[in-house]
């Protein structure tokens, strides 16, 4: 096989990262949504961050599906990029949660 075994180590690691990333995005969505409801900070800004957390969750979930079903094709590579960008967004949201917190 010129492309290596299906479901290699990179794909497995990316799918595990996508799972952890999904949990982080759901936690950020809950945090920012609570701040909107509780009224701490700027509600509109917190609402935008909550929306970004939902976008990140969707991107990570779509990336995991593309990795699982795309394999070594271009769709699988796009899935790797989606998981990577979703993880980067989670890092940015972590910093923003710290900066905008109480």
* CA–CA dist 11, 3 (Å, integer): 13
Q: Is 66 exposed, middle or buried (0-12, 13-18, 19+ CB in 10 A)?
A: buried
- Residue 25: pLDDT above 90? yes
Q: What is the arithmetic mean of pLDDT over 51-69?
A: 95
- Residue 102: pLDDT above 80? no
| Count of C-beta atoms within a 10 Å radius of residue 18 | 26
* CA–CA dist 49, 52 (Å, integer): 5
- Residue 28: pLDDT above 60? yes
| 64 vs 71, residue with greater confidence | 64
The rounded mean pLDDT for the chain is 89
- Residue 78: pLDDT above 90? yes
């Amino acid at each position: 096989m010129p492309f290596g075994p299906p479901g290699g180590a990179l794909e497995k690691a990316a799918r595990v990262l996508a799972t952890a990333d999904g949990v982080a995005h759901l936690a950020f969505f809950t945090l920012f949504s609570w701040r909107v409801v509780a009224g701490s900070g700027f509600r509109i800004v917190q609402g935008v961050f909550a929306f970004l957390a939902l976008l990140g969750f969707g991107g990570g979930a779509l990336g995991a599906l593309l990795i699982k079903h795309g394999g070594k094709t271009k769709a699988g590579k796009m899935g790797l990029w989606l998981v990577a960008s979703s993880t980067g967004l989670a890092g940015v949201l972590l910093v923003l949660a710290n900066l905008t917190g109480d």
